[in-house]
A and B are shown apart, each in its own frame.
Chain A
Amino acid sequence: METLISKFKKVAPKAALLMAVAAGAALQGCNKSGGESDKAVDSDAASAVYVAPGEHDELYSFLSGGFNGQVSVYGIPSGRLLKIIPVFSQFPENGYGYNEETKPMLQTSHGFVPWDDLHHPKLSRTDGMADGRWLFVNGNNTPRVARVDLKTFETVEIMEIPNSAGNHCSPYPTNNNEYVIAGTRFSVPLDMKGGTADVSMEEYKDKFRGSISFIKVDKEDGDMELDFQVLVPGFDYDLANGGKGPSNDWVFFTTYNTEKSGTLKELGASQNDRDYLAAINWKVAAKYAAEGKAHEMPANYYHNKLDHGSFQAKSEVKKTVRYLLPEECPGMMYLIPAPKSPHGIDVDPSGEYMVVNGKLASSLPVFSFSKMQKAIENKDFDGEVNGIPVFKYESVLQGEVKEPGLGPLHTEFDGKGNAYSTMFVSSEVVKWSLKDLQVKDRIPVYYSPGHLMIPGGDTEKPYGKYLVVMNKITKDRFLPTGPELMHSAQLIDISGEKMKMLLDFPTVAEPHYAQAIQADLVAPNSVKFHKLDENTHPNAVKNEKDVSVTRNGKTVTVKMTAIRSHLTPDNIEGIQVGDTVLFHVTNLEQDWDVPHGFAVMGANNAETLIMPGATQTLRWVPKQEGVYPFYCTDFCSALHQEMQGYVRVSPKGSNVPIKFRMGEKKPVPPATASVN
């Protein structure tokens, strides 16, 4: 085990100097530490990101949490963490995925899956611009697409994607959320029942297929519905991006492993000099599906929705899925040869240029949408794959950015004719011009950047003031915390000709993509509390006099209330060992930022955190007799500590009756008899 001290000894100043001098082969990691980073930071950086106490940030940014299955919300430019939104993972902080209301959100055809690998947040759109209504995110591991409501910053819908594996190429909304599109990274042998078949790996080339799912989004409430899928050749579909303006009807997908190698992909999937950029006209696809070109197959996938009024999630199991075959749908899908193992595909604000970031390519190819249209007209093809026409590379290429850096991964745009690309291997962001494809500026970042984000950088009108770059390695940037470090993001000023490094901030788990939006499109709609009158939870009690404890067989239902600073009832008796006790707690507050927590000793899940006006349910099965305290976990008032109570648990079959109370009856003074 290498300790920090031994490491310091090893890389003492002399070594650091040597490393700095050693130009050339850019190493991941320590080569950029020390002096160079200081030079990159401008002297007025602190004031550029300073948001005084009580002031608010200009922008919200939503960073994917990667392997924590969450989205984290940061203020820009301060880099302050504002919130963590659990999506695919249980979250003990508020009971998401632990309480009875939200458990159905994590149901899948594989059972309860309380974790996922969340990669790409995408904001919903109106006329091609982020509208601040919803955030769509993908679950990579157990293929799912989720929708977060930006009124409450809560996950309100999760849909499983059948016929998919490694749902990486996802979720990409079209310019009016007509569809959210999700492609599979791993091709799999489809059993044509929505799952995968038991097939020998040797049959990869023949039996494995990919799928691209078209999820319809309801214009009013955002509800998703899997409309149809396109079954595509068995490559790996990596990333996607939608067109805009002239290319509005198109969505583009990078592919790798066009070799269809099933083993040692590191080598096997890097044989071909060119893989493909797949182009699908989603309007044509939707038309084919509507016209009855779609086939139907059995499927088995979960669709989970949270109801705003009752705070309850419900799961529905869907049993069929429709699919299109590209070979039967001419004009729907084309392939563009793209240099070696492309990763990011990014369409510029004009909708004319498609930039493909080839991980292993030495140049950045820029394709032209108008040339592509011409090539379709002229049938300028170079063969076909599974009935899908392949363009001639030169006929669709606008040009290449030469020697942009090592390991280009992603590109975003500033709306002023510039593109910014991350270079994973050489750890830098490179600014280049769309006009002449010449490199204009570079800035080192720490270290190994993946995605980068310019607020609105994937729309027609980027907010070209900031760039956030998300780094995969963090060594040396913050105080050490053992071998594992928080990942990091860096904020760069792109308002001038030269990029300026403004800020480092740690991120929760590995951030992949991010999206940002002006605060005034989201903040005014933020829900402050839920109206008690509108709470339709079947076990809500809106009035302390209506609280109850009732037994039905082995299930005891406790309907209770919370308000500063007591729980009603706070004494419960008559529970027996082995009972299932359901605490339905309603928070009676009608005030902002006064949630009440509820926790009971020995519960095998988490607490639950109840927002003002809402009802949440904690399930508890006591295993031993005794007296168990419960209490409020979220500080609420000077008497918060006193917000507690007891449950008495008696042996199984005991004759202690169900009894509950809050407050002892005291004689009412004669002068103050109650009304009527």
Chain B
Amino acid sequence: MKKYPSNPSESMMNKLFKPLRLAVTAMLFSTVLFSCSSGDGENTAATGQGESGLANQSEAPAADDGKGIGPVTSVEVGEGVDEALAAEGKTIFEGKCSACHQLSDQKIVGPGLAGITDRRKPEWIMNMVINPEEMTKKDPEAKKLLAEHLTQMTNQNISESDARALLEFLRQNDQNS
């Protein structure tokens, strides 16, 4: 039987993740494999132990360096805000994020984003934007957020460079407040 990527972002993710995957997999000592992260369609009856779901999550604590899980392992952030990049981020935010997130601390569907750059590492923010499904399954902070808001953050197919621009926009939001 042939297998196809079960998730739209998976083939892309595989590419992005290749270097990271080994490290992550090595860190995981349970049967929750990286490839099972998308939850649906990947598990066969034989290897079906890796089902996602809160019940199984505790078996596989990912090492938590506060950077989250995803393609972004380190981000250079300048002292001041790169205004041009932030402006780019604003446009993306309005198109893909503002339906669910306020820039204040007010929750709509997802949490208000005021102060996020103080609460989270820049890598975490970008990984959450790019890789929301895996984050809410494995990252302890993202898991808590899902439990609180009960709506899976949508995968808006945001590229790494767009995520960087969004980060800059959120930094601007926090610095201006």
Binding site for B on A (CB under 8 A): 51-58, 519-520, 523-524, 528-529, 532, 542-545, 561, 563-566, 568, 588-592, 594, 637-639, 663, 666, 668-669, 671-676
Q: Which of B98, B104, B150, B151 is in CB contact (< 8 Å) with A672?
A: B104
B contacts with A, residue count (CB < 8 A) = 44
In the complex, whether B1 has a CB less than 8 A from a CB of chain A is: yes
Is the CB–CB distance between A590 and B96 below 8 Å? yes
For the complex with contacts A52-B1, A58-B1, A669-B114, 5 further pairs of A-B residues with Cβ separation under 8 Å are A545-B98, A566-B99, A590-B154, A668-B104, A672-B104
14 interchain pairs (CB within 8 A)?
Answer: A57-B1, A58-B1, A543-B94, A544-B98, A563-B154, A564-B100, A588-B96, A590-B96, A592-B7, A663-B108, A669-B114, A672-B103, A672-B177, A675-B176
Docked CA distance A672–B99 (Å)? 18
B21-63 CB mask vs A (1 if < 8 Å, else 0) is 0000000000000000000011111101000000000000000
Is the CB–CB distance between A568 and B99 below 8 Å? yes
Taking CB atoms, residues of chain B closer than 8 Å to A637 are 151-152
Residues 125-177 of B at the A interface (beta carbon under 8 Å):
150-152, 154-158, 169, 172-173, 176-177
Q: Which of B45, B157, B158 is in CB contact (< 8 Å) with A54?
A: B45
Taking CB atoms, residues of chain B closer than 8 Å to A58 are 1-2
In the complex, whether B13 has a CB less than 8 A from a CB of chain A is: no
Chain A residue with the shortest CB-CB distance to B42: A54
In the assembled complex, the CB of B62 is this many whole angstroms from the nearest CB of chain A, namely: 23
Q: A544-B99, A639-B150, A672-B103 are in contact. Are A52 and B173 (CB under 8 A)?
A: no
Docked CA distance A54–B1 (Å)? 10
Q: A528-B8, A639-B150 are in contact. Are A51 and B1 (CB under 8 A)?
A: yes
Taking CB atoms, residues of chain A closer than 8 Å to B119 are none
In the complex, whether B3 has a CB less than 8 A from a CB of chain A is: yes
A-B pairs, top 9 by smallest CB distance, nearest first, are: A528-B8, A672-B114, A592-B8, A672-B104, A638-B150, A55-B1, A591-B155, A590-B157, A563-B99
Is the CB–CB distance between A669 and B104 below 8 Å? yes
In the assembled complex, the CB of B89 is this many whole angstroms from the nearest CB of chain A, namely: 10
In the assembled complex, the CB of A3 is this many whole angstroms from the nearest CB of chain B, namely: 41
Is the CB–CB distance between B44 and A52 below 8 Å? yes
Is the CB–CB distance between A55 and B4 below 8 Å? no
Is the CB–CB distance between B155 and A519 below 8 Å? no
Taking CB atoms, residues of chain B closer than 8 Å to A565 are 109, 151
Taking CB atoms, residues of chain A closer than 8 Å to B158 are 590
- Main DSSP-derived SS at the A contact region: loop
Chain A residue with the shortest CB-CB distance to B11: A524
In the complex, whether B80 has a CB less than 8 A from a CB of chain A is: no
Taking CB atoms, residues of chain B closer than 8 Å to A589 are 154, 156
Q: A545-B98, A671-B114, A672-B177 are in contact. Are A520 and B103 (CB under 8 A)?
A: no
Q: Which of A588, A591, A639, A675 is in CB contact (< 8 Å) with B173?
A: A675
Is the CB–CB distance between B94 and A545 below 8 Å? yes
Is the CB–CB distance between B154 and A564 below 8 Å? yes
Is the CB–CB distance between A524 and B4 below 8 Å? yes
Is the CB–CB distance between B100 and A671 below 8 Å? no
Docked CA distance A326–B64 (Å)? 79
Taking CB atoms, residues of chain B closer than 8 Å to A528 are 8
In the assembled complex, the CB of A25 is this many whole angstroms from the nearest CB of chain B, namely: 44
Chain B residue with the shortest CB-CB distance to A55: B1
Chain A residue with the shortest CB-CB distance to B158: A590
Is the CB–CB distance between A523 and B176 below 8 Å? no
Is the CB–CB distance between B94 and A523 below 8 Å? no
Taking CB atoms, residues of chain B closer than 8 Å to A674 are 103-104, 173
In the complex, whether B73 has a CB less than 8 A from a CB of chain A is: no
Q: A532-B95, A666-B106 are in contact. Are A54 and B48 (CB under 8 A)?
A: yes
Is the CB–CB distance between A591 and B157 below 8 Å? yes
Q: Which of B96, B103, B150 is in CB contact (< 8 Å) with A675?
A: B103
Q: A51-B1, A639-B151 are in contact. Are A675 and B157 (CB under 8 A)?
A: no
Q: A53-B43, A56-B2 are in contact. Are A638 and B154 (CB under 8 A)?
A: no
Taking CB atoms, residues of chain B closer than 8 Å to A591 are 8, 154-157
In the complex, whether B82 has a CB less than 8 A from a CB of chain A is: no
Is the CB–CB distance between A55 and B44 below 8 Å? yes
In the complex, whether B90 has a CB less than 8 A from a CB of chain A is: yes
Taking CB atoms, residues of chain A closer than 8 Å to B150 are 638-639
In the assembled complex, the CB of A642 is this many whole angstroms from the nearest CB of chain B, namely: 10
Is the CB–CB distance between A672 and B157 below 8 Å? no
Taking CB atoms, residues of chain A closer than 8 Å to B109 are 563-566, 639
In the assembled complex, the CB of A308 is this many whole angstroms from the nearest CB of chain B, namely: 18
Q: Which of A52, A523, A545 is in CB contact (< 8 Å) with B4?
A: A523
Taking CB atoms, residues of chain B closer than 8 Å to A520 are 2
Taking CB atoms, residues of chain B closer than 8 Å to A669 are 104-106, 114
In the assembled complex, the CB of B108 is this many whole angstroms from the nearest CB of chain A, namely: 7
In the assembled complex, the CB of A488 is this many whole angstroms from the nearest CB of chain B, namely: 24
Q: Which of A588, A668, A675 is in CB contact (< 8 Å) with B90?
A: A675
Q: A543-B95, A668-B106, A669-B104 are in contact. Are A529 and B8 (CB under 8 A)?
A: yes
In the assembled complex, the CB of B148 is this many whole angstroms from the nearest CB of chain A, namely: 12
Docked CA distance A544–B108 (Å)? 13
Most buried by A among B99, B106, B114, B150: B99
Docked CA distance A592–B12 (Å)? 13
Taking CB atoms, residues of chain B closer than 8 Å to A523 are 2, 4
